[in-house]
Amino acid sequence: MTTLVEIDGNDVTNLSLAGSSTRRLNRMSQAQVTLPMEEVDASWGTGSRLKVTFDGNLHHHGIVMLCETEAGEDTGTTVFNSRDPLDIWSWRPVRDDDGDYTKPGITWDPAFPPASKTGPQIIEQMMDNSENAMVPSDNGFPDGPLLLARGNFASGGVDLSGAPTDWPMTMADLASLLTSTGELDIVITPIDTDIDGNIGQIDCYNGNYGDDLSTVIAFQYGMGQRNIRALRHNEDATNVISKLRYLLGPRVQTSADPAGDQHWRTSVDTGGPNVPDLCDYETEFTYVEDLYGGRFDIRIFDGDDIANAKELYLRLFALEACLRSIPRLLVHITPTRETEIFTFDIGDVITVEAAAVVRGGFSGEQRVYGYTIAWEGEDSVRYLSELTTSPDQEGLV
């Protein structure tokens, strides 16, 4: 098994004191490497490209955004922290094809093609506009490259038409909103720098990326294979509710309310029409009220034209109602050092089990949302340092 670490094309594997590479679904991936201070070239720093390769497979290719050096009496270390190109999305506004970011129509305007607006289609349009739209306030220049080659943008899928709460909105914010519906998965695969300067490839799926490996791969604590050496089991009821309502704008002026302070164009309510039937959340809401007391959450989405294109919010409402009718469960696993790496990836479904000593025990299928491969010392012995799984849909509550 070999590990290769490169900074700006320079092999620094044998200098590496420690390092890690974290891969995430729908989120920015990152890596870091620690080198002896005296071995660091002065030209390496923020803006450098960090690559981490395991057994010939590129696992991370990103931009160094933070470079930290600590010097002691005799020596010191320099840590290079790198992020993949998805980091750029936090600093780019969503635009129309004419460069406007005040109210881009890619998620709601029927006149803006395509008529069916699924998650992958919206992401592809968002990227096209960000890289190609002429920005009037910037002398007609676009925002520039996103450093991501285009892969597959799945067809079909659920219509996610609707408008976000407030414009302007960053690309990262809109992507998070769309992935929260469960109908979009964003996968970034690192690549060697191509002719256009891209260092990653983006593929978008209709919420179904990954394989079901639940009958093949099992992580078990205190039982069975005993291949979990540490575990954090978080059961969080701080956001549970017994009633939910969405108020969708724009607000409406009436004779009794001339300012439009009290009336919205439409709403989405518990048990309301056209809400997708994703779970029996009304029964669960009753359970929440009995156990935790009545907990009512009202969310206002006061954008224009939401009432006329609200499929996205119907979907969000159904998912939020399902998730917030039960305590949130998130499991962080530290596998044993001998656990084989690369038998699964982000998006895959695996089995996670624990003996009765952990909250009475649990067993079930859980989706992998992230994992970290780490190494220590010059021999570059690798191990899975943490694995994040959950039976819940991520990112909503």
Distance CA 20, CA 86 (A): 18
- Give this prediction's pTM: 0.83
112 burial level (CB within 10 Å; 0-12, 13-18, 19+): middle
pLDDT of 393: 45
Distance CA 46, CA 50 (A): 10
Strand pairing report for 57-71 and 49-54? antiparallel
- Residue 272: name the closest of 292, 289, 248, 249 by CA: 248
pLDDT of 109: 63
pLDDT < 70 regions, the chain: 1, 108-116, 136-140, 162-166, 260, 303-310, 377-380, 391-397
Three-state secondary structure call for residue 144: coil
HEC secondary structure over 330-395: EEEEEECCCCCCCCCCCCCEEEEEECCCCCCCEEEEEEEEEEEEEEECCCCEEEEEEEEEECCCCC
pLDDT of 374: 92
Sequence-distant (6+) residues with CB within 8 A of 256 are none
- What the block records as the tokens of 379 is 């021999």
Sequence-distant (6+) residues with CB within 8 A of 25 are 185, 186, 187, 209, 210, 346, 347, 368, 369, 370, 394
Q: What is the torsional sign of CA 220, 226, 228, 234?
A: positive
279 burial level (CB within 10 Å; 0-12, 13-18, 19+): middle
- What the block records as the tokens of 66 is 């933070």
pLDDT of 307: 54
Q: What is the DSSP string of 247-274?
A: EEEEE---SS-TT-SS-EEEEEETT-TT
Domains of the chain, first to last: 3-83 (2.30.300.10), 88-205 (no CATH), 218-237+327-390 (no CATH), 243-323 (no CATH)
Sequence-distant (6+) residues with CB within 8 A of 96 are 104, 105, 106, 112, 129, 133
pLDDT of 29: 96
Give the other-Cβ count within 10 Å of 357's Cβ.
10
What φ, ψ does residue 160 adopt, rounded to 5°? -110, 30
pLDDT of 93: 92
Please, are residues 235 and 328 in contact by the beta-carbon 8 Å criterion?
Answer: yes
